[in-house]
Amino acid sequence: MKQDLLSASTDLLRRRLPHPPQVAVITGTGLGALADVVEDPVVIPYDEIPGFVASTAPSHAGQMVGGMVRGCPVVVLQGRIHYYEGFGMEKVAWPVRVLQRLGVKTLALTNAAGSLNRAMQPGDIVMLDDHINLMGANPLIGLHDDAHGERFPSMHQPYDQDLRRQFRSLAKRHGVRVAHGVYAAVSGPNLETRAECRMLASLGADLVGMSTVPETIVAVQAGMRVLALSIVSNYGNLFHNERHTQDEIRRHAATAGVNLSKILSDLLAQLSERE
């Protein structure tokens, strides 16, 4: 049944996307701007794709944009499903399983995150070099299918070292500072208490957010190379004790998202040269 639905998803996208995508980008809160640089874009709303659900999160468009970015066939997924939306991990992971079937080898994930590290300030771009899954759920739980990859995939290095190196050097060319750190994934949807922020920092997390890790786990199982980038949208309640508004989070994400899109577009150009 699940395989049938996966085939239906994949068949529809093969028919409608202008090119078989080499790279996919899943964009988070306020970061959908990357889709603006896609040439001759073909837009497919999620609710037209079997197995997809339209995201209910604010500022997540809920559509796929396929086309070329500087010679690289890409698909940009504008908006993601979060675990807190209540559809279950299968729906959160679904797009990545479909991308695997489409032959995508490289996945870039972006998100907005809270900072637990004073040096990572609102507006900064942070490359993930590791994560801690504290969502209380895992997308690989359930009956195993060898078509998805290994039952017990190694997570010794979920984020690809070469992609990180490339991204860092492209950011330098643009004069953009890029930090790197550990992302703790929580279920949300409430933001963390002060005690939770202290706990997360003491566990070794630099950032906290409500996404990205499930997609990474599935992509690693699928054998994809993963690059994950956070935009710091706010300090966690570790250094102060303030209410954070969704407006503030979106504003920081959108401003830094412009730089992030420039660097990612350079990276896509480099990846197309590699093939």
236 vs 115: CA distance, rounded Å = 5
Nearer to ligand HPA, 35 or 231 (CB): 231
Nearer to ligand HPA, 66 or 257 (CB): 257
231 is an interface residue for ligand HPA by CB under 6 A? no
Distances (CA, A) of 4 to 8, 189, 200, 232: 6, 32, 40, 39
Q: Give the residue ranges of DSSP H helices in 57-143.
A: 89-102
The DSSP output letter for 38 is -
Nearer to ligand HPA, 180 or 250 (CB): 250
Residue 228 one-letter amino acid: A
The DSSP output letter for 35 is G
Nearer to ligand HPA, 230 or 265 (CB): 230
Q: Which of residues 19-78 bind ligand HPA (CB under 6 A)?
A: none
209 is an interface residue for ligand HPA by CB under 6 A? yes
Residue 8 one-letter amino acid: A
Bridging pattern class, strands 106-115 and 225-235: parallel
Give me the residue whose beta carbon is nearest to ligand HPA: 114
244 vs 18: CA distance, rounded Å = 41
114 is an interface residue for ligand HPA by CB under 6 A? yes
Q: How far is CA 165 from the centre of its chain?
A: 18
210 is an interface residue for ligand HPA by CB under 6 A? yes
Binding-site size, ligand HPA (CB under 6 A): 13
Residue 24 Cβ vs ligand HPA, minimum distance, rounded to whole Å: 22
Which residue in the set 37, 65, 96, 113 belongs to the binding site for ligand HPA (CB under 6 A)?
113
Structure-derived torsion over alpha carbons of residues 129, 78, 92, 154, reported in degrees to the nearest 10: -30
249 is an interface residue for ligand HPA by CB under 6 A? yes
Give the x/- contact pattern for ligand HPA in 174-193, rule: CB under 6 A. --------------x--xx-
Which residue in the set 68, 69, 99, 112 belongs to the binding site for ligand HPA (CB under 6 A)?
112
208 is an interface residue for ligand HPA by CB under 6 A? yes
Peptide bond connecting 158 to the previous residue in cis, omega within 30 degrees of 0 = no
List residues binding ligand HPA (CB under 6 A): 112-114, 188, 191-192, 208-210, 233-234, 236, 249
